[in-house]
Amino acid sequence: MASLRALRPVMQITAQSLRHLPRTSLPSAFLFSQQRFASSKHPKGFVPPTPEDLEELRQSVQEFARREVTEEISAAADKNNDFPAGLWPKLGEAGFLGITADEDVGGLGMGYQAHCIVMEELSRASGSVALSYAAHSQLCVNQLQLHGTPEQKKKFMPGLIAGESIGALAMSESGAGSDVVSMRTTAKEATVDGREGYVLNGSKMWITNGPNADVVVVYAKTKPDAGSKGITAFIVETKTSPGFTCARKLDKMGMRGSPTGELMFDNVFVPRDRVLGTLHGGARVLMSGLDLERLVLSAGPLGLMQAALDITLPFVHQRKQFGTPVGHFQLVQGRLADMYTKMRASRAYTYATAREVDETGEIHTQDCAGAILYAAERATECALDSIQLLGGMGYVEEMPASRILRDAKLYEIGAGTSEVRRMVIGRVFNKEYAHLA
């Protein structure tokens, strides 16, 4: 397989060549597209990928997953409650950890359709591997891409993109999940050893990659009485920050191969140049990332639905009862049809939303929330249908059906619960039709 990093320059040749032609010689449709490339949500010089680019990427990820994320590796990660050792550098070498990052810091300079493809295909192989991947590449790397200074990007991005360091985002607390503004973690101005900065105190809960993270984007209150206007985002290096600890690694129902932990900050000093975005502007950093987080994570359930079909379809056409493959019975066909239709409808919604972000630069909150809302609930349903169609084999650990179900359920809870997503969509409507009140 040709390296994705090696292929990327070839994928951009046509667009780069067109940029140097006189504008009068370009087709009007291309001129229209050129006006849309300058998006604050995309890397420098971003060109929306062609269907051929995306298909080539999908094949690359599928080949990587077949080789590096086998069923044996996925099952062991679930059983051992740990991420497969050595996979981070391999993901970095393949080019997957910097999909949406600038090329001058090692990224591929691609967009959210590409990110969704990697997320979907990794989830098809292992839901937990993909979840940790998303926490690293979307919640951490992409936040640095969108809000980091050139100096911050130069320092942190190469290692994160190469898989030499592991990234995470720390927002939620035991008493501040959906109501993030009620967080209690604080950051107070301080000078330590002649360096100006902030001292963090508090804790964060349910942090994906937390037990292993080297770089964490942490949200804390710098003006406790200012509500959403008093939150700041910080870049914390865990290995060189005295006072930082992972209090415990959580033992979860699903996504067990994705380490999740409770993080403690006891007078952790963070230099002033580690503020991500603007001081007291953390809510903007957070909210601007939430829509894209939901969009990319919505591809996780797609991969899990495909995985459910991957194990169910062969089984029901091999398993015979009354001398007939059970897949020929109409009630079984009905469930299969529902599974397939739910997967295809969810995929269409996710990629239509991602394509609009890539091609117009516009992000519609209701569609980012809607895509993951719909896909997450359908994935749980498909996993249950898979177990039912597999019968007794679906209920034993010899088959991955139970793992798919346990992994799928997380998407109805993480990145904002299904209930919160419905509220988000409703609030968009309230705002749109406020003039009628």
Give the rounded distance of the alpha carbon of 365 from its chain centre: 16
Are the CB atoms for 202 and 252 separated by under 8 Å?
A: no
Are the CB atoms for 418 and 426 separated by under 8 Å?
A: no
Length of the chain as a residue count: 437
Are the CB atoms for 4 and 94 separated by under 8 Å?
A: yes
Cα–Cα distance between 303 and 203 in angstroms, integer?
32
Give me the half-sphere count of Cα atoms (radius 13 Å) on the Cβ side of residue 389.
33
- Cα–Cα distances (Å) from 281 to 9, 185, 222, in that order, read 36, 16, 10
**Which segments within 308-425 are labelled E, that is strand?**
320-321, 324-325
**Which segments within 194-300 are labelled E, that is strand?**
195-208, 215-221, 231-237, 244-249, 260-271, 275-276
* Nearest Cα residue to 11 out of 35, 40, 45: 45
Copy the structure tokens of residue 149. Answer: 């200074």
What H or E segment, with its residue span, contains residue 117? helix 112-125
Copy the structure tokens of residue 426. Answer: 């409703």
Cα–Cα distance between 373 and 270 in angstroms, integer?
36
State yes or no: is 293 an active-site residue. yes
Q: Please tell me which residue in 293, 377, 381, 412 is annotated as part of the active site.
A: 293
Beta-carbon count within 10 A of 406 CB: 19
Beta-carbon count within 10 A of 140 CB: 29
Handedness of CA 44, 50, 53, 55 (dihedral sign): positive
Cα–Cα distance between 209 and 203 in angstroms, integer?
15
Helix, strand or coil, per DSSP, at residue 309: helix
> What positions carry a catalytic annotation?
293
